[in-house]
Amino acid sequence: MRTPAFSTYPETLQADLARLRAWCASSAAHDLEAEGPAQALAPATIRVRETCIRLLLWALIETGTPQAEITSLRCLVDRATAARALKFHRERLGAQRSGHLSGLADAVQLLLAFYRVDGEASAVMRKMLAKLRPAAQREIREEVAQTLDALSEPGRRARLLAMPQALMREARALRDGVDPLTRGQRAPDTDRAVWLAGIAVAIEIELHLPLRVLDLSHLRLGETIALTEARRGRWEARIRVQTSKTGRLVEARLDGESAGLVREYVEHFRPLARQAGTAWLFPSRDHADRPRAAHHFSEAIAREVLRLVGVRVTAHGFRSFVACMILEHDPQAWTDVSAVLGHTSLLTGQGHYVRIHRLAAAERLSAGLRRQRKQLERVAPPPLPRTPGRPGPRRPS
């Protein structure tokens, strides 16, 4: 599916888009009378909204409006026009409600705010948009719950936690031309070695600071990640990221074996990458001055986890896994979950990971029952009282 680029629309619409971009990137929180959102939208959010607007404009073309006649974004806040574009996508997707339709609805709602549509017109539009949004997610999805259950098995969890070092050993063998099974010589595979070493470091970072894959792929040496010698022979890797989705600051410090893993990758593997001259921690293999594509990077991580652990875990899946580990250690550590994951509110973690808390509570209850029963085994149980009006047990004849 190829949609027309914004540059192919009339100049007046392109001017509208430029004003919308500036408006989204500004903040009017300091001035109650100024136009603009209360809080500037993150660049990633702006890109998503623009993609949705482009899809909506394409829907108008597909349903009969000549492209040359689409001269302003204001057409998307007209109820009939917006409904036509949204119905087109609803039929194309074959769903009444979905995340994709919700994104399109969010784009229309953004334009309502941009053009300051209020009153009855705004209320009618918002009721229409609400029909496209799926019910709010109250807990983690069933497939995520199944993944967490699989990773609670000790063997799988041990393999996952040991994965970074296992991948790095495999990367060394590929770089040096050593068969990992027979220890015999073979042709070196530098590209594969750099690829695996990068995934090893990515997983180690995710276990300490579970970033969304866009933030993970955009780590830059000397900026969002810095490798320093804290003391003689002891290195630290400091990570400090303003998340693309919420704008929250998250940070972590890796030392010991974890920092050693990062250092080995930076000093001995990354220089062998095809695009090693950039500041990206994980440079693209095919494009100068680009990081690894976020989606492909996440899929590569998932493939390696499936190969070595037997469970599919994407980069985003590490967020749920780390939240699970935190709450297993301390069931009340919601502030830790919020700080590590970069949530804007404690309620986000409490809503999404309530299942983990629920299972942990049930396990604590079961453990308490087992302790009580063990303690009371040494105490003779009191005789059961007779029920009035009923004969006692018969004596054997």
Per-residue pLDDT reduced to its tens digit, 175-223: 999 887 777 888 999 999 999 999 999 999 999 999 999 999 999 999 9
Provide the pLDDT confidence category of residue 346 given band limits of 50, 70 and 90. Answer: low
Q: Are 227 and 236 in contact (CB under 8 A)?
A: yes
In this prediction, residue 111 carries a pLDDT of 94
Query: The whole model's pTM is what?
Result: 0.70
pLDDT tens digits along 143-174: 888 898 899 899 999 999 999 999 999 999 99
| Residues whose CB is less than 8 angstroms from the CB of residue 118 and which lie 6 or more positions away in sequence, other chains included | none
In this prediction, residue 35 carries a pLDDT of 55
In this prediction, residue 388 carries a pLDDT of 65
Compute the average pLDDT of residues 338-362: 72
Ranges of beta strands (E only) in 166-288 are 225-231, 234-242, 249-255
pLDDT tens digits along 78-128: 999 999 999 999 999 888 777 889 999 999 999 999 999 988 988 999 999
Which residue from 168, 171, 195, 151 is spatially nearest to 297, judged by alpha carbons? 195
| Rounded Cα–Cα distance for residues 208 and 284 (Å) | 24
Using CA atoms, how far residue 184 sits from 49, 115, 172, 181, in Å, is 54, 69, 14, 8
* Percent of the chain whose pLDDT exceeds 70: 88
* Average of per-residue pLDDT values in the chain: 87
Provide the pLDDT confidence category of residue 349 given band limits of 50, 70 and 90. Answer: low
Q: Are 220 and 279 in contact (CB under 8 A)?
A: yes
| Residues whose CB is less than 8 angstroms from the CB of residue 324 and which lie 6 or more positions away in sequence, other chains included | 148, 151, 152, 353, 356
Task: Check whether 397 has a pLDDT greater than 60.
Answer: no
| Rounded Cα–Cα distance for residues 300 and 150 (Å) | 20
| Rounded Cα–Cα distance for residues 341 and 248 (Å) | 9
The single-letter DSSP state of residue 242 is: E
Place of tokens 């949609």: 3
Task: Check whether 45 has a pLDDT greater than 70.
Answer: yes
CA dihedral 274, 280, 282, 285 (to 10 degrees): -30
| Residues whose CB is less than 8 angstroms from the CB of residue 375 and which lie 6 or more positions away in sequence, other chains included | none
In this prediction, residue 194 carries a pLDDT of 95
Q: Are 43 and 218 in contact (CB under 8 A)?
A: no
3-state secondary structure of 249: strand
